[in-house]
Amino acid sequence: MFRALLTSFLIEFLGTFDPSVLPAGLEGLDARYFGVRTTNLDSLTPNQLYLSWNEGSKEYYDLATDPYQLQSLHASPSAQTKMQSLDQRLNQLKTCGGGTCQTLEDQ
């Protein structure tokens, strides 16, 4: 059966860092995060990356203009609507299962 290309997908990192490789002062860093990455097939938020870290911070990148993720747009007032949309999609992807996930990824 042919499956259409994804418009978005879930990213997650639930591991830990070796404390010996962290800079001083970051020993207790909670490095776990979830994210959603959209592709150029997404009509509302094409080529975007949104990350939500367990300790509460957020990152948001427009990969069309910043493919190396050097400048997070999370604090930009103009990005808030897109971030809310991606945060909602992220929460749906984190809790979906089976065919429901495929439906969400194809939206």
Question: Residue 45 has what DSSP assignment?
Answer: S
Model confidence pTM above 0.75 = yes
Can you tell me whether residue 85 is helix, strand or coil?
Answer: helix
pLDDT at residue 48, rounded to an integer: 92
Q: Which two tokens stand for residue 95?
A: 């809790």
94 HSE (CA, 13 A, CB side):
15
Question: Residue 17 has what DSSP assignment?
Answer: -
pLDDT in tens, 7-37: 888 888 877 666 666 666 666 666 788 999 9
Question: Residue 58 has what DSSP assignment?
Answer: E
pLDDT at residue 27, rounded to an integer: 62
Q: Which two tokens stand for residue 47?
A: 């080529």
Q: In terms of pLDDT, which residue wins out, 2 or 74?
A: 74
Model confidence at 96, pLDDT cuts 50, 70, 90, reads: confident
